Amino acid sequence: MAQALNSDLEGTVSALVTQDVYDSIAGQYLVIPQGARLFGFYDADVQGHVPRLHIAFKTLYFPNGYSLALSGMPGVDSTGMAGVSDQVNRHFWQRYGSAAVLSLITAGISLATYSHDGFYAYSPADAARYGGGQVMGQAVGEDLRQSMRMRPTLTVAEGYPFNVMLTQDVAFPGPYPFLTVHLARGGGE
């Protein structure tokens, strides 16, 4: 990775090719040199238990200025699993702290509606406290439920190694640096 990524907001990604890549037929022709750059996008939709950032690369830029469209080829980890994963913040204290506050509010509302001997007898002050507590409890409860649904935040450090999975054939105009050589025919050209 040429930059750090954070799943709180989707965006663009750039990466640097760190080793020369040779053709897949003979393995002797350089097709992507070290130093070429990849550009694409990553998705911020990180889900639950196995959070991963999904990357799609759109363009490969060569050091000589030539570019190649990659049509959204995915970034994969060293095992070939789609996406990348580095540091995960599951927001434990925010999520479970909210659950603790919500349970306290629920307990408070339950105490406000406590009946004695099977009867609910409210004075005007008790009725006002009960009604206010009920409405306030619902409002705060909804806010706390929202915070409990907080997605994990995934960060990927600059320099994180990964691979690009080829999902279609890639035709190069020849070995890098893609020079077209015109051989002269005959004696005078």
Judged against a pLDDT cut of 90, whether residue 161 lies above it is answered with yes
Q: Are 10 and 78 in a shared domain?
A: yes
Q: Are 69 and 34 in a shared domain?
A: yes
Q: Are 42 and 28 in a shared domain?
A: yes
The DSSP code for 140 is H
Q: Are 77 and 33 in a shared domain?
A: yes
pLDDT category, 183, cuts 50, 70, 90?
Answer: very low
Determine the pLDDT at residue 133. Answer: 64
Q: Determine, yes or no, domain membership for 181.
A: no
pLDDT > 70: what percent of the chain?
62
- For residue 123, give its domain range: 92-148
Q: Are 24 and 36 in a shared domain?
A: yes
Structure confidence by residue, pLDDT tens digits, 38-91: 999 998 777 666 788 999 999 999 999 999 999 999 999 989 999 998 898 877
Give the mean model confidence (pLDDT) for residues 84-109: 70
Measured CA to CA, the distance from residue 92 to residue 153 in angstroms comes to 11
Determine the pLDDT at residue 95. Answer: 62
Q: Are 19 and 74 in a shared domain?
A: yes
Q: Are 52 and 18 in a shared domain?
A: yes
Provide the domain count of the chain: 2
Q: Are 160 and 82 in a shared domain?
A: yes
Judged against a pLDDT cut of 90, whether residue 2 lies above it is answered with yes
The encoded tokens of residue 160 equal 């994180």
Measured CA to CA, the distance from residue 119 to residue 55 in angstroms comes to 61
Give the mean model confidence (pLDDT) for residues 130-149: 64
DSSP H helices, the chain, are 92-112, 124-148
Q: Which of 51, 44, 47, 60 is nearest to 12 (CA)?
A: 44
Count the helix, strand and coil residues of the chain and give each as a percent rounded to the nearest 5: 25, 30, 50
